[in-house]
Amino acid sequence: MTARIIDGKALAAATRAGLVPRVQALTAAGHQPGLAVILVGDDPASAVYVRNKVKACEDIGIRSLMTRLPAETTEADLLAHVARLNADTSVHGILVQLPLPRHLDAQKILETIAFDKDVDGLHATNAGLTLMGTPHFRSCTPYGVMKMLESIGYPVAGCHAVVLGRSNMVGKPMAMLLLAANATVTIAHSKTRDLGAITRQADVLVAAVGRRNLVTADMVKPGAVVIDVGTNRTPEGKLAGDVDFEAVKSVAGWISPVPGGVGPMTITMLLVNTVEAAERRRQAAA
């Protein structure tokens, strides 16, 4: 058996195309969606991610405000910058690119963003609302994964979903969204014993650990849906996921590639959240 490919790039393109008329309607009504992106320091990978986000905004008519701050920026300066953006009614979404330099307390900074502008879904209020099953903004990567499952018509309800990884950005919210969709969810992580015994039970396996080739063919149930969230670099500098794609694709029923899988969907869901934020503002102002 060869797995069918979940084409995140195509799904992202279709989803973004669907946003264009919404952005146009908002803009015509004087509510052009605006996303502010803050990059602190000069991490080259973060710079690439941020550039991609800014370009994705511009491609569909969302206004983007990019701020680059030096690595030595103080907490007070960064908090003051976020506070200005919170007060700016032309800004609907605020994203602070992570990781931050070590002297800055990322969680404290994230909590300073107004929760109704937290289009990244990382504010404690948004994490809590997702936990309650009443999300305001879903964390972008897990949200994108749910859309990928939806796109293949996968019946998530009642399935056993195994999430590898327990980060606040991906693993935990992923588990909550799958649970809200009535999956039976197991979260596995670096301290989990006999990982393969657990992953082999998965009807849906989401790998979000950050370790290349962690998921091998013997760890996958035949026919399972395998979604690879990993973004690792090969020694040659190429992007690679957490899943041994070539081997696993002969066991799985569906598989998402890296690149071209989850990555484009993460940025797309950031755009979706930003457009939703602007639509809420427009409604509130009406």
**Residues of the shown chain interacting with ligand GUN in the complex, contacts defined by CB under 6 A:** 49, 95-98, 120, 140, 266
Backbone phi, psi, residue 63, to 5°? -75, 130
Give catalytic status of residue 53 as yes or no: yes
Residue 266: closest CA among 238, 231, 233, 234:
231
Q: Give 6 or 50: the residue with its C-beta nearer to ligand GUN.
A: 50
- Of the pair 120, 228, the CB lying nearest ligand GUN is at 120
Nearest residue (beta carbon) to ligand GUN: 98
Selected catalytic residue, list 7, 116, 118, 120: 120
| Cα distance between residue 150 and residue 257, in whole Å | 17
Transcribe 209-273 into DSSP letters: S--TT-B-GGGS-TT-EEEE---EE-TTS-EE-SB-HHHHTTT-SEE--SSSSHHHHHHHHHHHH
Q: Which is nearer to ligand GUN, 40 or 96 (CB)?
A: 96
Pick between residue 94 and residue 220 the one whose CB is nearest to ligand GUN: 94
* Distance of closest approach, residue 221 Cβ to ligand GUN, in angstroms: 29
> Choosing from 97, 117, 118, 249, which is the catalytic residue?
97
Q: Quote the least distance from Cβ 45 to ligand GUN, whole Å.
A: 8
Q: Is 43 a catalytic residue?
A: no
Enter the DSSP assignment of 115.
G
User: What pairs with residue 239 in β-bridges?
Assistant: 233
CB of 75 to ligand GUN, least distance (A): 17
Catalytic positions: 53, 97, 120
